[in-house]
Amino acid sequence: MIELIPAIDIIDGKCVRLSQGDYESKKVYNEDPVEVALELEAHGIRRLHVVDLDGAASHHIVNYRTLHQIAARTSLIIDFGGGVKSIEDLGIAFDNGAEMVTGGSIAVNNAPLFESWIERFGPEKIILGADVKEKKIAVNGWKEATAVPLMPFLDHYIGKGIRQVICTDIGCDGMLQGPSLPLYREILTAHPDLLLVASGGVSGMKDIFDLHEAGVPAVIFGKALYEGRISLKEIEHFIVHEG
């Protein structure tokens, strides 16, 4: 069964969502991310994707206290990203309750450092973030496009031991117009054993079923949940009946 991973994106300690990574599009959905996490856990969710958007913009972790509060008050498995640029950031994330950390920009801008994290902490702790715009990697909170093509980028890090990749199609993210199914099929054809986490574009449960039927192992979604297009009851029903 595809694993459902709701996202909590944090700015100023609040639960927000952006559209296509645009900070000017910020919409606050809840003043208390811990409240959101507790409600998700109560409806059967076991894993949470927490993104420090302040950290992504500042190039170092900012909202670690919020991460700590979520980890302390729930038993959710938390994967954390946003602003993790150094071994010190990595330590802060793990010390405050993250079980996995996603590296995206660092994997492009400082490959030797990111590879050292994989070697030191293992692929069960380090996730590769592949944020994509027109099949090219984007970095620094999606504000900066690169010339790095997606597939060789994945090939390289899978060769270094990466087992889990969160792939976000920036053109889809926050737009509620459906996920990038052809892209995910292409990745899984090349790497059928990869724990691929689809991210961006989910508009309702039909999209989740479509990803499930395509063989995608896991999906991150946020805006569809916060805009009421996916209900907590639907999530609970899916987990109970499809699991």
Could you tell me the domains of the chain? 3-242 (3.20.20.70)
What are residue 156's phi and psi, to 5 degrees?
-60, -50
Rounded Cα distance, 236 and 103, in Å? 30
CA 51, CA 61: separation in Å to the nearest integer?
10
The one catalytic residue in 9, 54, 79, 89 is 9
Task: Give me the catalytic one of 79, 89, 131, 173.
Answer: 131
Q: 17: Cβ–Cβ under 8 A, 6 or more apart, which residues? A: 9, 26, 27, 29, 174, 222, 223, 226
Torsion angles phi and psi, residue 132, rounded to 5: -125, 135
Assess contact for 50 and 67: CB atoms under 8 A: yes
175 pLDDT above the threshold of 80: no
Residue 12 is a catalytic residue: no
Is 169 assigned a catalytic role? no
The per-residue pLDDT for range 187-225, each reduced to its tens digit, is 999 999 999 999 989 999 999 999 999 999 999 999 899
Indicate the pLDDT class of residue 181, thresholds 50, 70 and 90.
Answer: very high
